C-alpha cells in the first residue's frame, strides 16, 4: 500500500532511510546556520544602537550641556572632552561590531565555528562608558559647588 510507508523512509523516490536522514540532517544544519546569521545581524544592530547612544551623549555633553548651563570655561572644556570621549567610544563600538559581524559570518560560512574572546573588549568598552559617566558626574558636582 502506498500510504503505509514508514516515516523514516519518507525521502525522495528510490532513496532509503539512511539518505533521507542525511538530507534531514543537512537541512537542519542549513537552518541552524541561517538562525545563527540572523542572530549575528541582530547583534550588530544592538552594537550600533549602543554606538548611537554614545553619539547622542557626545552631542549632549559636548554641545548642549555647556550651552544650556552657566558653566565656566574649564567646565565647558571638561564637558567637551567628555563628549569627544563618548564619540570615540561610539566609533570603537561601531567598528568592533562590524568586525565581529564579518568574522562570525565568515566562520559560519566556512564551518569553523563561533568566535571567542569578546569578553575582554566588552569589559573595556563598558568600563570606558562607566568612567565617562563618572567624569561627567564629577564635572557637574564641581560646577555646582563653585
- Is the pTM higher than 0.75? The answer reads no
pLDDT single digits (tens) 48-105:
899 889 989 988 888 888 787 777 788 888 888 888 888 888 888 888 888 888 888 7
pLDDT single digits (tens) 40-63:
888 888 988 998 899 899 888 888
**pLDDT over threshold 80, residue 7:** no
Percentage of residues of the chain with pLDDT beyond 90 = 1
DSSP symbol at 70: T
Res 5: pLDDT? 47
Res 138: pLDDT? 82
DSSP symbol at 14: T
Instruction: Read off the pLDDT of each residue in 11-30 and give the average, rounded to a whole number.
Output: 72
Distance, CA of 20 to CA of 6 (rounded, Å):
12
Q: How many other CB atoms sit within 10 Å of the CB of residue 93?
A: 24
Percentage of residues of the chain with pLDDT beyond 70 = 79
Distance, CA of 72 to CA of 5 (rounded, Å):
85
**pLDDT over threshold 70, residue 136:** yes
* Cell, residue 40: 549575528
* Cell, residue 99: 568586525
Choice between 146 and 13, residue whose per-residue pLDDT is larger: 146
Q: How far, rounded to the nearest angstrom, does the alpha carbon of residue 2 sit from its chain's CA centroid?
A: 52
DSSP letters, 103-139, are: HHHHHHHHT------HHHHHHHHHHHHHHHHHHHHHH
Distance, CA of 31 to CA of 53 (rounded, Å):
33
Instruction: Read off the pLDDT of each residue in 25-53 and give the average, rounded to a whole number.
Output: 83
Q: Left if phi > 0, otherwise alpha if psi is -120 to 50, otherwise beta: which for 11?
A: beta
Amino acid at each position: 500500500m502506498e500510504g503505509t510507508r514508514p516515516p523514516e523512509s519518507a525521502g525522495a523516490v528510490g532513496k532509503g532511510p539512511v539518505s533521507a536522514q542525511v538530507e534531514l540532517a543537512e537541512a537542519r544544519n542549513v537552518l541552524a546556520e541561517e538562525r545563527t546569521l540572523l542572530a549575528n545581524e541582530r547583534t550588530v544592530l544592538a552594537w550600533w544602537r549602543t554606538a548611537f547612544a554614545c553619539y547622542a551623549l557626545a552631542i549632549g555633553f559636548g554641545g548642549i550641556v555647556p550651552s544650556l548651563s552657566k558653566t565656566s570655561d574649564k567646565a565647558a572644556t571638561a564637558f567637551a572632552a567628555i563628549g569627544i570621549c563618548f564619540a570615540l567610544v561610539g566609533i570603537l563600538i561601531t567598528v568592533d561590531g562590524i568586525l565581529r559581524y564579518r568574522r562570525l559570518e565568515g566562520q559560519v560560512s566556512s564551518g569553523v565555528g563561533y568566535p571567542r574572546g569578546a569578553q575582554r573588549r566588552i569589559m573595556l568598552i563598558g568600563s570606558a562608558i562607566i568612567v565617562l559617566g563618572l567624569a561627567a558626574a564629577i564635572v557637574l558636582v564641581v560646577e555646582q559647588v563653585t
